Structure 1
Amino acid sequence: MADQSTVDAVNKLLEESPNRNFPESVDLAINLKNIDLSKPHNRVDKEIMLPHGLGKSKKVCVFAKGEVGLKAKEAGVKYVYSDEDIDDLASDKKRAKNLAKECDLFIAEAQYMPKIGKSLGTVLGPRGKMPTPLTPNKDIADLIRSSQNSIHVRSKDRPSFHVSIGKRNEDPEKLADNIDAVITGVENTLEKGRQNLRSIYVTTTMGSSVKVV
């Protein structure tokens, strides 16, 4: 159950933000303090599972072959590539960039991760889209389902960054649950937890903002 103060912040935001003719995104503006982000190990770079997802389906790309590739297609994945395709993408940077833009998340069999890092890292890395490794003990269909409800929270070297947590037309308590999950995940990443948080605001795409932390 979401913290009541978080629910109150979401309700206040929705009351102050007029309805638009499209489902606005609800985002968090996260501001850090007292942390040296020039050092990569201090940065926030984490996959966080949202209890209620983002309210939309993500486009997934899977690097796999054989039975794993077939299972990915059966799970509804449109973009499934083998190891040979990795070389083709690496030689066609425009195609690789379009793929990175088109897909929200990437999954790859663990054996392909070094090759992907070497050949596609410059395209996927800066966009925060390096693949989630599929280890032998995991089922690709389960990983695809769980990935649909996860977000990549990434600060880079900036003390302020944004992350989407849902849509305006979702239930306020579900949005609050998602917010609390992100706050907990970010706190667990930071060296001093909440002491490294300056503030967190919840906002809509075209509306106002309300302080949560």
Structure 2
Amino acid sequence: MAKLTKKHKEALAKIETNKLYSLQEASSLVKEVSYVKFDASVDVAVRLGVDPRKANQMVRGVVTLPHGTGKDVKVLALVTPDKEAEAKEAGADYVGLDEYLQKIKEGWTDVDVIVTMPSVMGKLGPLGRILGPRGLMPNPKTGTVTMDVAKAVAEVKAGKIDFRVDKTGIVHAAIGKSSFTPEQIFGNAQELIQTLIKMKPTAAKGTYIKSIFVSSTMSPGIPVDPKAV
């Protein structure tokens, strides 16, 4: 087992053993237990009572965080020439088509989100083995395959993130930075959790929200009372 550093032990000491915190308390405490020297990412992990192996219990969707992600999201818009101007105006960092398809084929993936149009998806198919594992393949369900390219780019830039339950039944999402105020962290975390609650699959039985943890990069997780969200 890895040896705990002095700072990690100090952070752990601030979290009461066996206590379930309210989301508001956790949103304040996560700032106190963050001890790294950079602006750490604040993450939420929600364990759901679903079986992700069953298609009717898969939880996947998008949420627009009211206070943004705190991260400058790099967006590539793969569009036809007639859509280039609106993509640039909406804030896309890279705009084009064939030249970027070639760059991706050669291994370039220095972007966070790719937005494209339905007519271009056929060209992206062969690049699935590069984009898929990195979570970069556009998907109509997350709003990244659309004719309204400007709207999609603007939403991503404003704090729209996509999430999906992993094979262990947990949804992990970065919802801000440790430099955010407790109110901003709370607002973003609550938006994600409420979105998950609304998405409960009808096939899921028993307790749906099993556990919630709020943490920042390298910090210990703070357990949140699922019944109080």
1:29-178 → structure 2 map (5 Å cutoff): 29-33=45-49, 35-82=50-97, 84-85=98-99, 88=102, 92=105, 94-95=106-107, 98-99=108-109, 102-116=110-124, 118-131=125-138, 132-135=144-147, 138=148, 140-148=149-157, 149-178=159-188
Q: Any conservation in 2 of the 1:60–1:79 contact (CA below 8 Å)?
A: yes
Distance 1:199 1:113 in 2: 37
Change (3 A) 1:62 1:41: farther
> Match of 1:12?
29
Aligned to 2:210, what secondary structure does the other structure show? strand
Aligned-pair CA distance for 1:147: 1.0
Q: Any conservation in 2 of the 1:59–1:105 contact (CA below 8 Å)?
A: yes
Distance 1:126 1:191 in 2: 26
> Match of 2:219?
207
Structure 2 stretches lacking a partner, 5+ long = 1-20, 139-143
Structure 1 stretches lacking a partner, 5+ long = none
Q: Any conservation in 2 of the 1:7–1:172 contact (CA below 8 Å)?
A: yes
Q: Any conservation in 2 of the 1:43–1:156 contact (CA below 8 Å)?
A: no
Q: Any conservation in 1 of the 2:34–2:216 contact (CA below 8 Å)?
A: no
The alignment status of 1:24 with 2:35, answered yes or no, reads no
The one-letter code sitting in structure 1 at the alignment partner of 2:29 is K
Distance 1:107 1:87 in 2: 13
Change (3 A) 1:85 1:170: same
TM-score (norm 2): 0.76
The one-letter code sitting in structure 1 at the alignment partner of 2:166 is K
From the two aligned structures, give the one with the greater helix fraction: 1
Q: Any conservation in 2 of the 1:48–1:182 contact (CA below 8 Å)?
A: yes
For these two proteins, the number of residue pairs brought into alignment is 197
The partner residue of 1:198 within 203, 210, 214 is 210
Aligned to 1:152, what secondary structure does the other structure show? strand
Q: Any conservation in 2 of the 1:128–1:154 contact (CA below 8 Å)?
A: no
Q: Any conservation in 1 of the 2:75–2:113 contact (CA below 8 Å)?
A: yes
Aligned-pair CA distance for 1:158: 2.3
The one-letter code sitting in structure 2 at the alignment partner of 1:12 is L
Change (3 A) 1:24 1:67: same
The one-letter code sitting in structure 1 at the alignment partner of 2:136 is K
The one-letter code sitting in structure 2 at the alignment partner of 1:200 is I
Distance 1:114 1:197 in 2: 38
Change (3 A) 1:87 1:153: closer
Aligned-pair CA distance for 1:26: 0.5
Greater Rg by CA: 2
Aligned-pair CA distance for 1:156: 3.2
Distance 1:73 1:196 in 2: 41
Aligned to 1:133, what secondary structure does the other structure show? coil
